[in-house]
Amino acid sequence: MAPHSTKLALFGFLGTIVIVGLLRSAPAEEQHANRDRPTETSERAEDPPTTLLPHIKSQRFWISAQDNIIVQYHPSFRAKYSGANSLRPHADKATSNVGTLYLAYAPRRDTEFYFNIESASGGGLSDALGLAGFTNVDVVRNPQLGVVPYIARGILREVVPLSRERVEFEPGPLSLDSHLPARRLEFQLGKFALPDLFDVNAGSGDSHSQFLNWTIINNGAYDYAADTRGYTVGLAIEYSDRGWALRFSEALMPRIANGIQFQWNLTRARGENYELELRPRLMGKSGTVIRLLGFENHANMGLYQAAINDFLRGRAPRPDITEHRLQVTVKYGFGANLEQRLSRDITAFARWGWNEGQHESFVYTEVDQTVVAGADWAAQLWRRPLDKMGAALVSNGISAVHQKYLALGGRGFLLGDGALNYGRENIIEAFYTAHLWRGIFLGPNLQHIDNPGYNRDRGPVWVPGGRVHLEF
């Protein structure tokens, strides 16, 4: 099949999901798959078990584990040149494996402790370099960290009821209580991942069963506070009511870009995150969620223009964003996130993100603007309700000064081809996840990337892959 024909097929796949969802979206009892509304359980009475081991039926304890194995490959592709941080143009393959143990305990109602131990092994294509929208969100970008288990989350969660009425929730590894106050304050303190709390989206946010690309799973322009493994230490506060929620977090930043060590001095580095969540009734009783995001990072970040000026004045052999005096600078950005239930089985989603693009990409990825649209579909149509399929499109961009920095030979922590013929990095992803037996899920994934690393002189790249997910 010709490349353009295959791309049209992927677009058609996405369109089919949306159209069928609209045709099947008869009014139904409102059920949202998000953290702040009553949710239907993932296992209906007729569904088979979805874990390899039975779980303790208790609202005071939670013990579970998962293993996520992702295999990816790309054939050789056109590249006029390559640099130190390029996606390698010869054929390549990679495997990642992330295992997590989830523990939780509730000593009393509305007080919960969470503790997760994780181990990450393997790696990504080209050591996770050369793409802003990298193809595997499970990859830890520092291969020197090895497979030694580490503490991923250690959280104290306290819920303060502000109403007597309680609404039903589905318990899980990060929420034990099946009935939370309809109006409440929540406090979370400890080590956590900001995407667990901010920019959540039921249509795209689970790498265990949905998409894999960094900039589809998350908002690529959201340079959220985290170490290289994706976790931070901080405090999160949320006020939630039936129709809306407001949340804030103060979190630690790493000492250096993509670093593993935190800067504990808040006068030198910190990340502030704000989000307003609205749940209007825009399509009858179908679920609509709108999230408006803002963030502000304070850290020892360089300016692209300053690095360019040093190079042009002959002070450096190439622009180097890391060569600057110790300083505290500010990077800020905004995002919008739409989640729409089209039917019981189909969730459409869209995201937009922007950051100021003058300071170096410091934590997540090298994206200054992004726009995403897609849909996730449970395969109820052919009576496999635990299967999932989906497709999405994302277009990523960077600021003019970020472009010039890379064109002159500069390197970020992900990108650096030695030169740049700029074009937006456009990615299409499609997946199918099949439930085989109990806690075993398996399925293919396909991604197509135009202008990898924003470079028209390289690519396009096809990345087929597969995922095995085990739930214990």
The pLDDT assigned to 146 comes to 77
* In the chain, where the domains are located: 3-471
* Radius of gyration of the chain measured on its C-alpha atoms: 22
Q: Which DSSP string corresponds to 282-314?
A: SBTTB-EEEEEEEEEEEESPPBHHHHHHHHHTT
User: 381: closest CA among 392, 373, 389, 370?
Assistant: 389
Q: How far apart are CA 25 and CA 19, in angstroms?
A: 10
CA–CA distances in Å: residue 324 to residues 7, 49, 253, 367, 442:
43, 56, 18, 22, 47
Three-state secondary-structure class, residue 83: coil
Superfamily (CATH H level) for 3-471: Carbohydrate-selective porin OprB (2.40.160.180)
d(C-alpha 458, C-alpha 450), whole Å = 8
pTM for this prediction: 0.89
What is the average per-residue pLDDT within 61-68? 96
* pLDDT range class, residue 56, cuts 50, 70, 90: confident
Q: Give me the pLDDT at residue 143, please.
A: 66
Q: Are 378 and 402 in contact (CB under 8 A)?
A: no
pLDDT grade, residue 381 (50/70/90)? confident
Peptide bond before residue 143 is cis, with ω within 30 degrees of 0: no
What is the band of 320 on the pLDDT scale with cuts at 50, 70, 90?
Answer: very high
Mean pLDDT (the chain, rounded)? 90
In sequence order, what are the residues at sequence separation of 6 or more whose Cβ sits closer than 8 angstroms to the Cβ of residue 218? 137, 195, 199, 205, 224, 364
The predicted model gives 429-433 an average pLDDT of 98
For the CA atoms of 181, 182, 184, 186, the dihedral, rounded to the nearest 10 degrees, stands at 70
Q: Say how many Å lie between the first and final Cα of the chain, rounded.
A: 40
List pLDDT tens digits, range 84-107: 999 999 999 999 999 999 999 999
Report the C-alpha gap between 454 and 457 in whole angstroms.
Answer: 9
Q: Each residue of 249-274: pLDDT tens digit?
A: 999 999 999 999 999 999 999 999 99
284 pLDDT band, cuts 50/70/90, is: low
Residues 6+ positions from 403 with CB-CB distance below 8 Å: 420, 422, 454
Any idea which of 112-116, 170-174, 348-352 has the lowest mean pLDDT?
170-174
> What is the predicted pLDDT for the residue at 19?
42
Higher-pLDDT residue of 31, 202:
202
What does the pLDDT average to over 379-388? 90
**Non-local CB neighbours of 17 within 8 Å, separated by 6+ positions:** 346, 348, 375, 376, 377, 389, 390, 391
Q: What is the pLDDT of residue 214?
A: 97
Which carries the bigger pLDDT value, residue 160 or residue 18? Answer: 160
Assess contact for 291 and 244: CB atoms under 8 A: no
Answer yes or no: is pLDDT of 319 > 70.
yes
Whole-number pLDDT of residue 17: 43
- Whole-number pLDDT of residue 32: 31
- Which of 36-45, 48-57, 201-210, 267-276 is the most confident on average? 267-276
